[in-house]
Structure 1
Amino acid sequence: MPPEHPGNTAAERAVTAYQPTPLPPAVVVQQPPMVPVQPGAVPSVASIVLPDGRVVTGYAIEPAHPAPLAVKPPVSRAAVNVALGGVGFLAVCGGLLLLTTFITALTALITQLITLAAVLFGGWIAVQIFKPHGHQGATTVNIRKAIFKRNHFHG
């Protein structure tokens, strides 16, 4: 206890300070090997007897395992996305090329059909115009027997 100094009160003198006593190295009692515990079950209690006779009891704590690192793929996802986009673009371009070829062929077919219709219709009109029609009540005049005198017709 520290020597008394003048001015210490009785309450200050009542405080006792203890210094910790170092412990000798612990002797571990041989225990049977621990059995793995199923998840959700209560783990077994482990006890250690210290050399001074005290028993320390507690649960065995399994060390925390760090989470496994995510394995990086050999090719980045951005490169895969760019490649897939290129494949899709090529597929679309091929489809557009086929579509324009189809439209061109369809336009040529329609043009040929219109030309064929114009030729057929024009031919039918020409036949109707130039076809000889029979007598439809007209008067026939035999010019050989007629007499022309002084540019006047006498029939």
Structure 2
Amino acid sequence: MYPEHTPHVPVQRAVELHQPTPYPPAAAPIVPVAPGAVPAVASIVLPDGRVVTGYTIHPPQPDSIAAKPAVSRTAVNVALGGIGFLAVCGGLILLTSFIAALTAFITQLITLAAVIFGGWIAVQIFSTHGHRAGGTTVNIRKAVFKRNHFNG
């Protein structure tokens, strides 16, 4: 038979009954409370005549103004960041001044070397080194160029 043609028959199960075990109420210790610490009890009469009694709930009080710091942390952080930035800028100015002074010093050394070397060259060219004053001796030899070979 097909499942859709079978009649639905409920299944009977055994019923177990559990009885709760009552516990005797425990006596709570009585703690003495100062009279000012007990909150006041308020009773309200509803329009239909019912009376509702309960403790009053005080709204939370905002923090006092004196407890807040005079300067916000954000302002302190911005000020400290500005001081750090100025310190870095001062260091960068000193660094650029040092680089400019070093560059000027190296330029002066190169100029001094050029002047000294140029003076030495001038002395070499214009000095006679034991030759007669007023004349220049040039030795010319007969040279033969033959097939791109120099025979001197």
Task: Tell me which of the two structures has the higher relative contact order, counting C-alpha pairs closer than 8 angstroms and 6 or more residues apart.
Answer: 1
Q: Bigger radius of gyration, 1 or 2?
A: 1
Q: TM-score, normalised on structure 2?
A: 0.44
Q: TM-score, normalised on structure 1?
A: 0.43
